[in-house]
C-alpha cells in the first residue's frame, strides 16, 4: 500500500465547497473522480478539512492510498488534464503510512482579502470581499488582535451540519497579521485549528467593531459568553483563502 | 455642451469585445446603456479603439458629450452601480471640445501575459495565455525586438470587418519590454497605433520563432512581404490587456 499527499489550489467561486455532498459539485468530488479515472479503482480522498462554498485555496492538502506505486510526474499531469481549469493539482509526494491530511496537520494559515476602494476591480472581484462602508482601521487591528492566543471560540463557530458537536472549541491562534494592500487589506490567520466558519466570523465581528456597530469591550467578553448569536455576522466567502496547511 | 473623458477597466472574458455589434453583448453597448440610463438621453460613447472578444482592459478610454454639466463623483457612482461587476468606470474628467478618445490618442500601451508553468494557476487562468510547449526565451526576446521601430505592419494585421482598408499600415512601436514573472512572462508594447489583431499577431509570430517553427530571418522579411498569410498564428485573446491610452 502506497500513501500520497497532494496539494491543490482552487478557485471556489463555482463550487459548493470542498466536502462531498449529495446533488452538488464539490472539489473533493471532482478530485476523487479524476483520481479514480487515472487509478482505475475506487479511491477516497481525505482533505485537511473542509472549505465552504465560494472559499478558495492556494494550498489545500489531502491524502489518498494506492495499491500500486505511481510515476508522480505523469500522474499529476494526467489528473490535471481531467480537472476543470479552476482546480489545479500543484504537487504530489509519497508519505509514510501514518500521515493523515487532517490529523497530522499542525497548523493552518488562512488569508482574508478586503477590497476597500469605492470602485470594484474587475480582475479581483471574485477574490476580495468588497467593503461598502468605511471602517476604523486601527480599531479593526485591535479587534483582530483580541483573537490571538488560546480561547474557547464557541461564540465564533457556526453549527456545522455534521460532526461539530464532537469538536473541541478551544483553539490557539498564534498569529494574526493585517497588511495594507493597494486597494484594500489582507489579513493572515495562523492557528492550530479552526472551527466551522470561524475565520469568517472573526472577520465579520471585527468589521462590526471597526464600523461602530459593536463595542470592542463587547468583543472581549464573547469568549466567555460562548454564544454564537452575540458575535457579528459571518463575512462573505469570496475573500477567504486556505493558504497553507503545515505538517 | 460638455465633454467628458472616461477611463474604464474590464474583464473581457464574457464579452464580444468593445465595439457595438448586432446580437452580441459588448462593453461599448453596456457602457452606453448605463450612461443613457443616468443621463436620461440617447448617448454615444466613442472609444479609443476596439478590443476583441476576450481581451481585457486596465485603462480603456472613451468620450461622450452631455447637454448638462455633471456631478462627476455621483455620476461615476451611479454608472458603476448599473454596470456588471466585470466592468468598472475608474475615472471621469471634463475635457475640452477638441478632445477625441480616438484621434487625440498619442500612444497606446498593451500588456500580453504568458503562463509558462506546466500547472495552470486557477486564479490567473482567465488572464494569461497558457503556453503548452517550451520556447527559447532569448530567441523570443530577439524576435520581439525586431518589431521595434517604424514598419509597414500589413503582414501582422488581420482584415477587419469594417474600415480596415482606410487604415495606414505604417506604425511606430517605440518600446517592447519582456519581463520574467513568477509563473511566466509579461510583454509590454508601446506604440503610436496598432492595426487589427496586431499585438496578438506579433506575439503569435514571435512564439513560432521561439518554438522553432519559423526562422528568425523569415520574420525580418515579413515587413516587406506585406502578406498576413506568411506570419504566425494570432495568439489567444485572454493574455492581452489594453493597459493605457496616452494623450
Instruction: Find cell 450612461 and name the residue.
Output: B35
E-strand stretches of chain A: 2-10, 46-47, 56-66, 87-95, 107-115, 129-130, 149-152, 170-181, 184-191, 240-246
Indicate the pTM of the whole model: 0.89
Give chain B's end-to-end CA distance (angstroms, integer). 22
For A58-69, write each residue's pLDDT tens digit: 999 999 999 999
- Helices (H), strands (E): how many in chain A? 6, 10
Q: How far apart are CA B167 and CA B187, in angstroms?
A: 25
Q: How far apart are CA A76 and CA A56, in angstroms?
A: 20
List the single residue in A11, A119, A120 with the smallest CB-CB distance to B123.
A11
Residues of A in contact with B80 (CB under 8 A): 119-120
Q: How far apart are CA B152 and CA B92, in angstroms?
A: 35
Q: How far apart are CA B99 and CA A16, in angstroms?
A: 49
Asked if residue A231 lies in contact with residue A217, where contact means CB atoms within 8 angstroms, the answer is no
Cross-chain residue pair A122–B85, CB shorter than 8 Å: yes
Q: State the Cα angle at B201 between B199 and B207, rounded to 5°.
A: 105
Residue of chain A whose Cα is closest to the Cα of B9: A122
Asked if residue A196 lies in contact with residue A158, where contact means CB atoms within 8 angstroms, the answer is yes
Cross-chain residue pair A122–B86, CB shorter than 8 Å: yes
Q: How far apart are CA B46 and CA B51, in angstroms?
A: 13
Helix (H) or strand (E) holding A145, with range, is helix A137-145
Residues of B annotated as part of the active site: 52
Closest C-alpha to B86, from B26, B165, B164, B150: B26
Nearest CA to CA, how far is A82 from chain B (Å)?
Answer: 12
Residues of B in contact with A86 (CB under 8 A): 122, 125
Closest C-alpha to B145, from B109, B188, B186, B176: B176
- The partner residues of B177 in beta bridges, in order of sequence, read B188
Contact B65/A at CB under 8 A: no
For B27-46, write each residue's pLDDT tens digit: 999 999 999 999 999 999 99
ipTM of the complex: 0.83
Per-residue pLDDT of chain A (247 residues; tens, 9 = 90+): 999 999 999 999 999 999 999 889 999 999 999 999 999 999 999 999 999 999 999 999 999 999 999 999 999 999 999 999 999 999 999 999 999 999 999 999 999 999 999 888 999 999 999 998 999 999 999 999 999 999 999 999 987 654 555 578 999 999 999 999 989 999 999 999 999 999 999 999 999 999 999 999 999 999 999 999 999 999 999 999 999 999 9
Please report the domains of chain A, with CATH numbers, ordered by start residue: 2-95 (3.30.70.580), 107-246 (3.30.70.660)
Helix (H) or strand (E) holding B34, with range, is helix B27-39
Amino acid at each position: 500500500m502506497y500513501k500520497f499527499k497532494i496539494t491543490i489550489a482552487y478557485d471556489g467561486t463555482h463550487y459548493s465547497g470542498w466536502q462531498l455532498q449529495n446533488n452538488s459539485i464539490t472539489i473533493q468530488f471532482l478530485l476523487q473522480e479524476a483520481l479514480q479515472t487515472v487509478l482505475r479503482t475506487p479511491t477516497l480522498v481525505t482533505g485537511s478539512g473542509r472549505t465552504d462554498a465560494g472559499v478558495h485555496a492556494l494550498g489545500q492538502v489531502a491524502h489518498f492510498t494506492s495499491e500500486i506505486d505511481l510515476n508522480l510526474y505523469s500522474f499529476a499531469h494526467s489528473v490535471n488534464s481531467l480537472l476543470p481549469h479552476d482546480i489545479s493539482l500543484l504537487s504530489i509526494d509519497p508519505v509514510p503510512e501514518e500521515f493523515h491530511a487532517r490529523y497530522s496537520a499542525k497548523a493552518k494559515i488562512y488569508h482574508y482579502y478586503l477590497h476597500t476602494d469605492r470602485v470594484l476591480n474587475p480582475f479581483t472581484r471574485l477574490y476580495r470581499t468588497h467593503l461598502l462602508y468605511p471602517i476604523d482601521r486601527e480599531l479593526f487591528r485591535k479587534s483582530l488582535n483580541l483573537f490571538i492566543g488560546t480561547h474557547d471560540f464557541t461564540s465564533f463557530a457556526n453549527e456545522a451540519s455534521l460532526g461539530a458537536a464532537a469538536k473541541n472549541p478551544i483553539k490557539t491562534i498564534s498569529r494574526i497579521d493585517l497588511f495594507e494592500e493597494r486597494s484594500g487589506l489582507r489579513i493572515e490567520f495562523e492557528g492550530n485549528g479552526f472551527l466551522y466558519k470561524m475565520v469568517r466570523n472573526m472577520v465579520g465581528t471585527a468589521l462590526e467593531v471597526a464600523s461602530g456597530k459593536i463595542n470592542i469591550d463587547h468583543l472581549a467578553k464573547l469568549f466567555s459568553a460562548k454564544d454564537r448569536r452575540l458575535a457579528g455576522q459571518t463575512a462573505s466567502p469570496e475573500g477567504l483563502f486556505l493558504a497553507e496547511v503545515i505538517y
